[in-house]
Amino acid sequence: MQDERRAAPGEPDFRPDGSKAGAIYMRIKSVLLMHRIPPSTFLNIRTLAGVLKVSPTPVREALIRLANEDIVLQAPSGRGFFSRPPRLDELAGEYEAAMIAVTHALSKHGGKLTIADLGPVPTRRPPSRSAPFAAKDIAAWIAWREQLYRRIMRSSENAVLQRLVERFIEVTRFLTAHGLAQPDRLPEITDILSRFVGALASGAIAEATSILEQHNSVEIALIPEYLHSVLRQAAIDDLTLEGVLAAGEHDDGQT
Protein backbone atom coordinates (compact mmCIF):
# COMPACT_ATOMS: atom_id res chain seq x y z
CA MET A 1 0.00 0.00 0.00
CA GLN A 2 1.42 3.36 -0.96
CA ASP A 3 2.32 5.62 1.93
CA GLU A 4 -0.17 8.48 1.88
CA ARG A 5 1.55 10.61 4.50
CA ARG A 6 2.68 14.07 3.45
CA ALA A 7 5.92 15.71 4.50
CA ALA A 8 5.71 18.67 6.82
CA PRO A 9 6.07 22.11 5.19
CA GLY A 10 9.67 22.74 4.25
CA GLU A 11 10.65 19.07 4.54
CA PRO A 12 11.53 16.84 1.55
CA ASP A 13 8.88 14.33 0.48
CA PHE A 14 10.31 10.81 0.69
CA ARG A 15 7.17 8.86 -0.11
CA PRO A 16 7.73 5.73 -2.26
CA ASP A 17 6.04 7.43 -5.20
CA GLY A 18 8.32 6.28 -7.99
CA SER A 19 11.11 8.76 -7.18
CA LYS A 20 14.67 7.53 -6.86
CA ALA A 21 14.75 8.28 -3.12
CA GLY A 22 11.41 6.50 -2.69
CA ALA A 23 12.64 3.39 -4.51
CA ILE A 24 15.86 3.29 -2.49
CA TYR A 25 13.86 3.81 0.70
CA MET A 26 11.63 0.83 -0.08
CA ARG A 27 14.54 -1.48 -0.91
CA ILE A 28 16.54 -0.65 2.20
CA LYS A 29 13.46 -0.74 4.42
CA SER A 30 12.39 -4.19 3.19
CA VAL A 31 15.80 -5.65 4.07
CA LEU A 32 16.12 -3.95 7.45
CA LEU A 33 12.64 -5.02 8.56
CA MET A 34 13.57 -8.68 8.06
CA HIS A 35 16.33 -8.15 10.69
CA ARG A 36 18.94 -10.21 8.89
CA ILE A 37 21.49 -7.51 9.72
CA PRO A 38 22.92 -7.55 13.27
CA PRO A 39 21.62 -4.73 15.46
CA SER A 40 23.70 -1.54 15.60
CA THR A 41 25.45 -2.28 12.29
CA PHE A 42 26.83 0.92 10.75
CA LEU A 43 25.08 1.82 7.50
CA ASN A 44 27.65 3.37 5.19
CA ILE A 45 25.98 5.76 2.75
CA ARG A 46 28.74 5.65 0.14
CA THR A 47 29.12 1.88 0.01
CA LEU A 48 25.34 1.48 -0.11
CA ALA A 49 25.21 3.96 -2.97
CA GLY A 50 27.86 1.92 -4.77
CA VAL A 51 25.88 -1.32 -4.43
CA LEU A 52 22.65 0.37 -5.50
CA LYS A 53 24.41 2.22 -8.34
CA VAL A 54 23.10 5.62 -7.34
CA SER A 55 24.59 8.79 -5.89
CA PRO A 56 24.81 9.11 -2.09
CA THR A 57 21.98 11.67 -2.02
CA PRO A 58 18.95 9.32 -2.41
CA VAL A 59 20.55 6.86 0.03
CA ARG A 60 21.01 9.60 2.62
CA GLU A 61 17.43 10.80 2.07
CA ALA A 62 16.12 7.25 2.47
CA LEU A 63 18.06 6.74 5.71
CA ILE A 64 16.78 10.05 7.08
CA ARG A 65 13.22 8.92 6.50
CA LEU A 66 13.91 5.52 8.04
CA ALA A 67 15.40 7.27 11.08
CA ASN A 68 12.26 9.41 11.36
CA GLU A 69 10.22 6.19 11.34
CA ASP A 70 12.47 4.63 14.03
CA ILE A 71 13.54 1.85 11.67
CA VAL A 72 17.19 2.93 11.84
CA LEU A 73 19.12 4.79 14.52
CA GLN A 74 20.78 8.11 13.77
CA ALA A 75 23.85 9.22 15.70
CA PRO A 76 23.41 12.34 17.85
CA SER A 77 25.74 14.19 15.48
CA GLY A 78 23.33 13.36 12.68
CA ARG A 79 26.15 12.02 10.54
CA GLY A 80 25.80 8.28 11.06
CA PHE A 81 23.06 5.66 10.73
CA PHE A 82 22.84 2.23 12.34
CA SER A 83 20.47 -0.74 12.14
CA ARG A 84 17.96 -0.64 14.98
CA PRO A 85 17.31 -3.69 17.17
CA PRO A 86 13.63 -4.72 17.35
CA ARG A 87 11.99 -4.27 20.75
CA LEU A 88 9.84 -6.95 22.33
CA ASP A 89 7.31 -4.54 23.84
CA GLU A 90 6.87 -2.68 20.57
CA LEU A 91 6.29 -5.88 18.60
CA ALA A 92 3.70 -7.13 21.11
CA GLY A 93 2.03 -3.73 20.91
CA GLU A 94 1.84 -3.98 17.12
CA TYR A 95 0.04 -7.34 17.38
CA GLU A 96 -2.39 -6.04 19.98
CA ALA A 97 -3.17 -2.82 18.09
CA ALA A 98 -3.65 -4.67 14.80
CA MET A 99 -6.01 -7.16 16.43
CA ILE A 100 -8.12 -4.34 17.86
CA ALA A 101 -8.38 -2.83 14.37
CA VAL A 102 -9.15 -6.15 12.66
CA THR A 103 -11.77 -7.24 15.19
CA HIS A 104 -13.41 -3.81 14.92
CA ALA A 105 -13.55 -4.18 11.14
CA LEU A 106 -14.96 -7.69 11.46
CA SER A 107 -17.66 -6.71 13.94
CA LYS A 108 -18.78 -3.77 11.81
CA HIS A 109 -18.28 -5.03 8.28
CA GLY A 110 -17.44 -8.77 8.41
CA GLY A 111 -20.86 -9.65 7.04
CA LYS A 112 -19.92 -8.02 3.73
CA LEU A 113 -17.01 -10.38 3.09
CA THR A 114 -17.34 -13.38 0.78
CA ILE A 115 -15.05 -16.23 -0.21
CA ALA A 116 -14.27 -14.32 -3.40
CA ASP A 117 -13.21 -11.31 -1.31
CA LEU A 118 -10.93 -13.41 0.88
CA GLY A 119 -9.17 -15.13 -2.00
CA PRO A 120 -8.23 -18.81 -2.37
CA VAL A 121 -6.35 -20.43 0.50
CA PRO A 122 -2.90 -21.61 -0.70
CA THR A 123 -2.64 -25.29 -1.58
CA ARG A 124 -1.67 -27.42 1.39
CA ARG A 125 0.62 -30.42 1.27
CA PRO A 126 1.19 -33.00 4.00
CA PRO A 127 3.64 -31.86 6.70
CA SER A 128 6.90 -33.73 7.09
CA ARG A 129 9.78 -33.10 9.44
CA SER A 130 12.16 -34.73 6.97
CA ALA A 131 10.95 -32.53 4.10
CA PRO A 132 10.78 -28.91 5.28
CA PHE A 133 8.51 -26.52 3.48
CA ALA A 134 10.13 -24.71 0.58
CA ALA A 135 10.64 -20.98 0.68
CA LYS A 136 7.94 -20.61 -1.99
CA ASP A 137 5.40 -22.36 0.28
CA ILE A 138 6.18 -19.98 3.12
CA ALA A 139 6.16 -16.95 0.82
CA ALA A 140 2.75 -17.96 -0.57
CA TRP A 141 1.29 -18.21 2.93
CA ILE A 142 2.79 -14.91 4.03
CA ALA A 143 1.37 -13.18 0.94
CA TRP A 144 -2.06 -14.77 1.42
CA ARG A 145 -2.26 -13.90 5.10
CA GLU A 146 -1.24 -10.32 4.45
CA GLN A 147 -3.87 -10.03 1.72
CA LEU A 148 -6.43 -11.48 4.11
CA TYR A 149 -5.76 -8.73 6.64
CA ARG A 150 -5.81 -6.08 3.92
CA ARG A 151 -9.13 -7.26 2.51
CA ILE A 152 -10.70 -7.28 5.97
CA MET A 153 -9.45 -3.75 6.61
CA ARG A 154 -10.56 -2.46 3.23
CA SER A 155 -14.10 -3.46 4.17
CA SER A 156 -13.91 -0.95 7.04
CA GLU A 157 -13.18 1.94 4.64
CA ASN A 158 -11.16 3.45 7.50
CA ALA A 159 -7.83 4.73 6.15
CA VAL A 160 -6.36 5.26 9.62
CA LEU A 161 -6.98 1.65 10.66
CA GLN A 162 -5.77 0.42 7.29
CA ARG A 163 -2.44 2.20 7.78
CA LEU A 164 -2.16 0.78 11.29
CA VAL A 165 -2.58 -2.78 10.03
CA GLU A 166 -0.26 -2.12 7.09
CA ARG A 167 2.44 -1.10 9.55
CA PHE A 168 1.77 -4.27 11.58
CA ILE A 169 2.24 -6.34 8.42
CA GLU A 170 5.53 -4.63 7.63
CA VAL A 171 7.17 -4.73 11.03
CA THR A 172 6.11 -8.27 11.98
CA ARG A 173 6.72 -9.99 8.63
CA PHE A 174 10.09 -11.28 9.82
CA LEU A 175 8.44 -13.04 12.78
CA THR A 176 5.78 -14.54 10.52
CA ALA A 177 8.43 -15.86 8.15
CA HIS A 178 10.48 -17.30 11.00
CA GLY A 179 7.45 -18.92 12.59
CA LEU A 180 6.29 -20.55 9.36
CA ALA A 181 9.75 -22.05 8.90
CA GLN A 182 9.46 -23.98 12.19
CA PRO A 183 8.54 -27.69 12.05
CA ASP A 184 4.77 -28.24 12.02
CA ARG A 185 3.99 -24.53 12.41
CA LEU A 186 2.82 -23.99 8.82
CA PRO A 187 0.25 -26.83 8.98
CA GLU A 188 -1.03 -25.44 12.30
CA ILE A 189 -1.48 -21.95 10.87
CA THR A 190 -3.02 -23.41 7.73
CA ASP A 191 -5.67 -25.16 9.82
CA ILE A 192 -6.34 -22.10 11.97
CA LEU A 193 -6.74 -19.68 9.09
CA SER A 194 -8.76 -22.16 7.06
CA ARG A 195 -11.20 -22.43 9.97
CA PHE A 196 -11.24 -18.65 10.26
CA VAL A 197 -12.07 -18.21 6.56
CA GLY A 198 -14.72 -20.92 6.76
CA ALA A 199 -16.41 -19.26 9.72
CA LEU A 200 -16.23 -15.85 8.09
CA ALA A 201 -17.63 -17.10 4.80
CA SER A 202 -20.56 -18.76 6.58
CA GLY A 203 -21.44 -15.53 8.38
CA ALA A 204 -20.26 -16.74 11.82
CA ILE A 205 -18.47 -13.46 12.57
CA ALA A 206 -18.18 -14.03 16.34
CA GLU A 207 -16.64 -17.47 15.80
CA ALA A 208 -14.24 -16.11 13.18
CA THR A 209 -13.19 -13.29 15.51
CA SER A 210 -12.62 -15.74 18.38
CA ILE A 211 -10.43 -17.96 16.18
CA LEU A 212 -8.34 -14.98 15.10
CA GLU A 213 -7.98 -13.65 18.66
CA GLN A 214 -6.80 -17.04 19.93
CA HIS A 215 -4.31 -17.26 17.06
CA ASN A 216 -3.04 -13.77 17.84
CA SER A 217 -2.55 -14.65 21.52
CA VAL A 218 -0.42 -17.64 20.54
CA GLU A 219 1.67 -15.52 18.21
CA ILE A 220 2.28 -12.89 20.88
CA ALA A 221 3.40 -15.60 23.30
CA LEU A 222 5.93 -16.84 20.73
CA ILE A 223 7.50 -13.42 20.08
CA PRO A 224 10.30 -13.71 22.71
CA GLU A 225 11.41 -17.11 21.43
CA TYR A 226 11.25 -16.12 17.77
CA LEU A 227 12.93 -12.77 18.31
CA HIS A 228 15.81 -14.35 20.21
CA SER A 229 16.26 -16.91 17.43
CA VAL A 230 16.19 -14.29 14.66
CA LEU A 231 18.74 -12.05 16.38
CA ARG A 232 20.99 -14.98 17.22
CA GLN A 233 20.98 -16.06 13.56
CA ALA A 234 21.72 -12.50 12.44
CA ALA A 235 24.73 -12.42 14.76
CA ILE A 236 25.96 -15.78 13.44
CA ASP A 237 25.50 -14.81 9.78
CA ASP A 238 27.02 -11.34 10.40
CA LEU A 239 25.69 -10.00 7.10
CA THR A 240 25.98 -6.44 5.86
CA LEU A 241 23.19 -4.42 4.30
CA GLU A 242 25.34 -4.05 1.20
CA GLY A 243 25.75 -7.81 0.94
CA VAL A 244 22.05 -8.56 1.29
CA LEU A 245 21.13 -5.87 -1.24
CA ALA A 246 23.70 -7.20 -3.69
CA ALA A 247 22.43 -10.76 -3.25
CA GLY A 248 18.89 -9.52 -3.82
CA GLU A 249 19.91 -7.92 -7.09
CA HIS A 250 21.51 -11.21 -8.16
CA ASP A 251 18.40 -13.18 -7.21
CA ASP A 252 16.17 -10.81 -9.13
CA GLY A 253 18.27 -11.35 -12.15
CA GLN A 254 17.72 -15.08 -11.90
CA THR A 255 13.95 -14.90 -11.91
Amino acid at 168: F
Based on the number of CB atoms within 10 Å of its own CB, is 9 exposed (0-12), middle (13-18) or buried (19 or more)?
Answer: exposed
Classified by CATH at the fold level, domain 20-85 comes out as: Arc Repressor Mutant, subunit A (1.10.10)
Range from 5-19, 23-37, 117-131, 239-253 carrying the lowest mean pLDDT? 5-19
Amino acid at 114: T
Is it the case that residue 218 has pLDDT exceeding 90?
A: yes
CATH architecture of 88-234: Up-down Bundle (1.20)
Is it the case that residue 254 has pLDDT exceeding 60?
A: no
Model confidence pLDDT, tens digit, residues 98-123? 999 999 999 988 888 777 777 777 76
Q: What is the mean pLDDT of the chain?
A: 85
How is the chain split into domains, by residue range?
Answer: 20-85, 88-234
Range from 51-55, 68-72, 135-139, 153-157 carrying the lowest mean pLDDT? 135-139
**Measured distance CA(204)–CA(131) in Å, rounded:** 36
Helical packing angle, 56-68 and 45-52, nearest 10°: 120
Model confidence pLDDT, tens digit, residues 167-205? 999 999 999 999 988 888 888 888 898 899 889 888 899
Question: What's this model's pTM, rounded to 2 decimal places?
Answer: 0.82
Mark 51-74 as b/e (b = at least 16 C-beta within 10 Å). bbebeeebbbbbbbbbbebebbbb
Model confidence pLDDT, tens digit, residues 153-166? 998 889 999 999 99
